Chains A and B, each alone.
Chain A
Amino acid sequence: MIEVPSIDRSGLSRGLGNASPVALSGLTKRFKSGFLAVNDLSLTVERGQVFGLLGPNGSGKTTTLRMMVGLIRPSSGSAYLFGEEMAPSHPVLRRVGALVEKPAFVPHLSGRRNLELFWRAGGQDMKEANLKEALAVAGLGDAIERKVTTYSKGMQQRLALAQVVLKAPELMILDEPTVGLDPQEMSEIRQLIREAAGRGSTVILSSHILAEVEQVCSHVAVVDHGRLIASGAVAELTKSGSSVYIEVDDVERATAVLECLDGVVEVSREAPGLGVRLDGLEREAIVSALVKEGIGVGTVTSRHRLEDAFLQILKEEQ
């Protein structure tokens, strides 16, 4: 059954025990249609991190995650999991649990049968599965015996997550895990992710929601058009305010005043207010400059680098 030789050709691993759970090096995917989905993406996820892949829809997150688990072949570059170069059906997948894009099940079977067949398809006995915990995660009660076609979207999502924890993975790969869930379910899933991380699992999740990444991730990479825009520790990226959003009573004059200030990089219209990118200037300085010119200042909100990077992308999309 296992055909792929587990020879370590990565050069990235530092001994078997402590190779990074995920390392991407120059990962690129150009589809046959010519569409460049992922463009020279390199990043490393260390053990125990909850790593967010943040980007708008269509930014290449799903393609990246699929290359990570060997479902899509990279056009160039490589993905390494635990130091092993990824290939279709690589045995290292035993250490990985993944939710790719959307939950999917065999429609004519019950939730429980789906979990069973999913597990046994890997040639493993049900006794080795983490069934009790998986059922707790699914939280479906008696509905677990019903056909999956009767499930709501939230129930399907939870069953898919149950499928992920069925093997107590060292690495969890979750593509948009909270999409389509209600707030209660969302917070349950976030709790689940934190618990997994607390047990030493590494989690990589994709999201197009900034707040979600800020809430659950320890590290983040912002991607757009398949390229890496920014990456680092969330705490680091959210520390310093690098821009402010400001609402004033006279937008035209305020723009003129701000553009003349030293330490202002860019002033852009963000109706109903203005976005002001700063370099070394405190927000108090802007407010006082505006007030001095007799311009009324309403809301002033600091924004950090992560927010900036993400908003910049969304702006370009429009």
Chain B
Amino acid sequence: MIRVEFEKQVSRLRTYVILGSMVAVAALMTLVFRVGSPSGGEGLVALGAHSGLNMALVVLAHTVLILPVVVALLAGSAISEEAGWGTLSYLLLRPVSRRSLLASKLAVVVTLVLAATLVLSLAAVVAGIVAFGWHPLDTTDGTTISAGAALGRIALATPYIAWGMAGIMSVTFFLSVVTDAPLNAFAGGFGLVVVSQILDSFSAMGAVRNVLPTHYWRAWEGLFASPVSMDGMVRGFALQLPYVIVFLALAWWCFRRKDILT
């Protein structure tokens, strides 16, 4: 079952467009920093041109703009797309339990999101090094981290960035179960990200901001502070869990009792 679902995505242009655009985004941003005169910006962004790895961090800091689109696209089409094609009926006419179908779909989405994050991260590092060279990393505190150690921390930040997507992925996956139109699920998932980020920008929201699924998305930057601060990452990690548990459970609850009409 899982293999069949993978084959469907592997033989599909969309998959390569997504992965390719990860590379393109990293390359483009790096190019802009290289060609333009990087002045202004705050924090990490201001240090972009200092070294290849600094540049990579700038790209990663902007994943909050590009990765949610990918996540909403992949998770939002998981089940709804088959319903839209009409193939969901035929899949369920095979002696396949709904649980294993849902699990296979989820596994494919998770894998592709991980792949997209990894490709983005790799492309950011490679593009950064090509453009600005292999040098120690300058931090916002004015200290430097050796290039090797910085690379190691990027390797830690990458899975954290991917895990940060788990909450919205679960919500969108749930939406793809309840609607037959992938666009609805996509809009719902991506809309949640936008609303969450807007609310997060109002300091008047106070402690409520701490439960927004996007709040700790950039907590990995703590890895590049001195001293290293893992506090935000731990909270950010934990915050995703309730979203994942609740919405995946809801997805399963709805899917097992859903009437397949298309």
Contacts and interface: CB of A to CB of B under 8 A. Distances in A.
Interface stretch (B86-94, B168-176, B188-196, B212-220): B86-94
A4 B156 CA distance: 43
Contact of A73 (B85, B92, B259): B259
Contact of A93 (B8, B86, B95): B95
B257 A73 contact: yes
A117 interface: yes
Interface in B1-20: 1, 3-4, 7-8, 11-13
B256 interface: yes
A72 B259 contact: yes
A88 interface: yes
A108 B89 contact: no
B85 A121 contact: no
A90 B91 CA distance: 13
B100 A1 contact: yes
A120 interface: yes
A90 B7 CA distance: 25
B169 to A, nearest CB: 22
Contacts of A73: 257, 259
B98 interface: yes
A123 to B, nearest CB: 6
B235 interface: no
Nearest to A92: B95
Contacts of A107: 85
B94 A117 contact: no
Contacts of B93: 69, 71, 93, 96, 98, 100
A98 B91 CA distance: 11
A66 interface: yes
Contacts of B260: 66, 71-72
A73 B100 CA distance: 19
B261 to A, nearest CB: 7
B85 A104 contact: yes
A272 interface: no
A5 interface: no
Given A104-B87, A105-B85, A108-B12, A122 B261 contact: no
A118 to B, nearest CB: 6
Contacts of B11: 108-109, 113
Contacts of A100: 89-90, 93
A42 B90 CA distance: 25
Given A3-B99, A106-B8, A108-B13, A121 B91 contact: yes
B255 to A, nearest CB: 10
A102 interface: yes
B97 interface: yes
B94 A121 contact: yes
Nearest to A31: B259
Contacts of A101: 86, 89
A96 B94 CA distance: 9
A31 B93 CA distance: 21
A2 B92 contact: no
A71 B86 CA distance: 12
Nearest to A164: B93
Nearest to A93: B95
B96 A117 contact: no
B13 to A, nearest CB: 7
A2 B96 CA distance: 7
Interface in A283-316: none
Given A66-B260, A93-B95, A122-B96, A117 B86 contact: no
A93 B94 contact: yes
B10 to A, nearest CB: 11
Contact of A163 (B4, B90, B259): B90
A91 interface: yes
A223 B245 CA distance: 45
Contacts of B91: 118, 121
B194 to A, nearest CB: 30
B13 A121 contact: no
Contacts of B95: 1-2, 89-91, 93-94, 122-123
B261 A70 contact: no
A88 B12 contact: no
Nearest to A117: B4
A89 B96 contact: yes
A15 B86 CA distance: 36
B102 to A, nearest CB: 11
Contact of A88 (B3, B86, B92, B100): B92
A106 B96 contact: no
B85 A106 contact: yes
Contacts of B87: 104-106
Contacts of A70: 92
B89 A118 contact: no
A117 B8 contact: yes
A109 B10 CA distance: 11
B261 A72 contact: yes
A223 to B, nearest CB: 18
Closest 8 CB pairs of A and B: A104-B86, A122-B94, A71-B260, A72-B259, A89-B97, A104-B87, A121-B4, A94-B95
10 contacts: A2-B97, A71-B92, A71-B261, A73-B257, A89-B95, A90-B95, A100-B89, A105-B87, A109-B11, A122-B96
